[in-house]
Amino acid sequence: MNRLGLANIPGYSLGDWVCTARYESNYNTSAMNYNPGDRSTDYGILQINSRWWCNDGKTPRAKNVCRIQCTELLQPDITVAVNCAKRIVRDPQGMSAWVAWRNHCKGTDVSRFIRDCKLWGKKKELGSRSGITLSYFR
């Protein structure tokens, strides 16, 4: 997330994004959750919704503002999800678009989500969880 530029979004820290990923999907890039009320689905690590942001071919009156297929949000490589998130956060609601951010991250000390991360230095691979390679820097 840091490498892809989420730490550079004005008003939000890298901790905000990691917290959001934790509470939206538990860091699961393949997470999908159906919303029966509007017949949309949330996709991927940031649970990006098919009503507004991506095309799944099933959601009525979908907008596809990010101009992507929703299945692209389910890949272990989170580049597409991050690029779409950058578009979402430009809207007036900002990160309030994510219910998990509003309920669990907003106004809290989100630095706890990145406290043990060393974001500069030599990269070391720790292994993978849910298809995501976890790394730290030494």
The CATH number of the domain holding residue 78 is: 1.10.530.10
Domain that includes residue 113, residue range: 6-137
Which tokens is 92 given?
């007036």
Q: Bigger pLDDT: 102 or 117? A: 102
- Do the Cβ atoms of 16 and 99 come closer than 8 Å? no
DSSP 69: B
Q: 89: Cβ–Cβ under 8 A, 6 or more apart, which residues?
A: 9, 12, 95, 97
Please say if 24 is a catalytic residue.
yes
- Do the Cβ atoms of 116 and 40 come closer than 8 Å? no
Asked if the structure places residue 55 within a domain, the reply is yes
Catalytic choice (16, 24, 56, 72): 24
Asked if the structure places residue 1 within a domain, the reply is no
CA–CA distance, 45 with 65 (Å, rounded to integer): 18
Indicate the pTM of the whole model: 0.81
pLDDT tens figures, 88-98: 999 999 999 99
Which tokens is 137 given?
């820097």
Please say if 42 is a catalytic residue.
yes
pLDDT of residue 118: 66
pLDDT of residue 86: 96
Asked if the structure places residue 77 within a domain, the reply is yes
**DSSP E strands: which ranges in the chain?**
32-35, 40-43, 48-49, 123-129, 132-137
**If residue 16 lies in a helix (H) or strand (E), which one and from where to where?**
helix 14-25
Asked if the structure places residue 66 within a domain, the reply is yes
CA–CA distance, 20 with 14 (Å, rounded to integer): 10
Catalytic choice (42, 56, 91, 125): 42
pLDDT tens figures, 3-52: 777 777 889 999 999 999 999 999 999 999 999 999 999 999 999 999 99
pLDDT of residue 137: 37
Terminal Cα-to-Cα distance of the chain (whole angstroms): 18
